[in-house]
Amino acid sequence: MNNEIKTYALMAAIIALFVVIGGLIGGKGGMLLALLFGGALNFYAYWNSADMVLKMYQAQEVSPHNAADLYQMVAELASRANLPMPKVYVINEDQANAFATGRNPEHAAVAFTTGIMRALSYAELRGVAAHELSHVKHRDILLSTISATVAGAISAVANMAMWFGVRDENGNRNWMAGLLIGIFAPLAAAVIQMAISRSREYLADQGAAELTNDPLALASGLRKIENIARGVQFQTAEEHPATAQMMIINPLSGSGRDNLFSTHPATANRIMRLEDMARRLGQLN
């Protein structure tokens, strides 16, 4: 299933989930309101979620005049990948991380923290930039951005169910059912996050290695980013955990090895695959 089909399937699943929860909370009237809300949220997310995420992280757009090296690096890689030039943003944040967003390659943006720009060498940062441009080329940026936007909304609806309960068939409030929705709806949001398959990170790593012909640079960069992420908190990501899956490395405290609800493959596994690529290219014994 390509990412365009996945995106529309995800948007349909979002509306269905909202309708079910809305019906449990408010009966037929609640279902109608939830249907309208889910449709409006999808429409808004499609057109505005990228800008919303960038504003959330207080990302500042840069140009060749105030970030020449970074801008030219992205421009060179975009040209090699036959992509339109994306907008380039910098986030004033100590943790080393980066992400791509936008609804398509013509409206894409790549963002880098000041921490990653300080911590990585030019070659390593180039590998990270190529990874993010691979996400753009694979057209999975809309899917990841929409899922990040709506996962938080689903959790908010779940909280409403916990506070207001749900209606039974006689119109009475069922507080226990509300509590269960409050517990399990966020799990449903996590499943939506899993619609962004962890395999996309492997594919973006592979695409970056092919674009730069330097898989070891990205492997070295991932190793550094992982070590920094374990010791430096990314407060905005902690406050908006649904956006964590957009980053090149999970920015949340307590992240680590693969698990059922992990949004990223284990970094060690990603590095191993990149090193295998380097061996095939004769760059590593």
Active site residues: 132
> 277 and 209 in contact (C-beta within 8 Å)?
yes
CB burial of residue 136 (10 Å; 0-12, 13-18, 19+): buried
**Cα distance between residue 227 and residue 233, in whole Å:** 12
Structure-token pair, residue 284: 């590593």
Measured at the CA of 73, the angle between CA 131 and CA 264, to 5 degrees, comes to 15
